């Protein structure tokens, strides 16, 4: 499947977050959603990416945006990682089973590696994709760029 395009209706998903709580894209109707995909938990760049989301939680709230830190790691792994990172607000959903289904639906699953690419996707209040940026796997997304995009929407 090809990369989800700006202007497309964002594919619905049904996953569990790091607290084993069910989570669906439709839960956030009326809010913007940032799907911040990281390849695998416990790695340095992914750690910094999730901390940047947590550290900017209040700014995201001001921008009517729910940030979600997605990866294909299993829920128990994400639960322990969230505790280790000291995440208080950020939800980090698991796309573990069916393995990478959501990443496939968004066109960002790397079959050979069994994980997602590093990608930020912004979905508007009506469930329409407004911004997509794919990053090199070893590059930390610029959180200020994401906040600027949201501020200008």
Whole-number pLDDT of residue 115:
96
CATH number at residue 73: 3.40.30.10
Whole-number pLDDT of residue 56:
98
Catalytic residue among 10, 45, 46, 52: 46
pLDDT digits (tens, 9 = 90+) for 69-127: 999 999 999 999 999 999 999 999 999 999 999 999 999 999 999 999 999 999 999 99
Please give the model's pTM, rounded to 2 decimal places. 0.97
Q: For residue 130, give its domain range.
A: 14-151
DSSP label at 133? E
Q: How far is CA 21 from the centre of its chain?
A: 16
The answer to whether 81 and 42 have CB atoms below 8 angstroms apart is yes
Query: Does residue 110 sit within a domain?
Result: yes
What is the DSSP pairing of strand 32-37 with strand 118-123? antiparallel
Task: Answer yes or no: 46 catalytic.
Answer: yes
Query: Does residue 2 sit within a domain?
Result: no
């Amino acid at each position: 499947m090809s990369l989800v395009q700006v202007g497309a209706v964002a594919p619905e998903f049904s996953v569990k977050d790091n607290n084993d709580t069910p989570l669906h894209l439709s839960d956030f109707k009326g809010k913007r959603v940032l799907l911040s995909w990281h390849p695998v938990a416990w790695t340095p760049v992914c750690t910094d990416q999730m901390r940047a989301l947590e550290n900017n939680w209040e700014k995201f709230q001001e921008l009517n945006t729910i940030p979600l830190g997605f990866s294909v790691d299993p829920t128990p792994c994400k639960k322990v990682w969230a505790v280790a990172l000291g995440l208080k607000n950020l939800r980090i959903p698991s796309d573990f089973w069916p393995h990478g289904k959501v990443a496939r639906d968004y066109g960002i699953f790397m079959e050979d590696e069994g994980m997602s690419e590093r990608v930020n996707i912004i979905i508007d209040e009506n469930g329409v994709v407004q911004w997509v940026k794919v990053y090199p796997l070893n590059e930390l997304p610029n959180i200020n760029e994401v906040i600027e995009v949201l501020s200008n929407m």
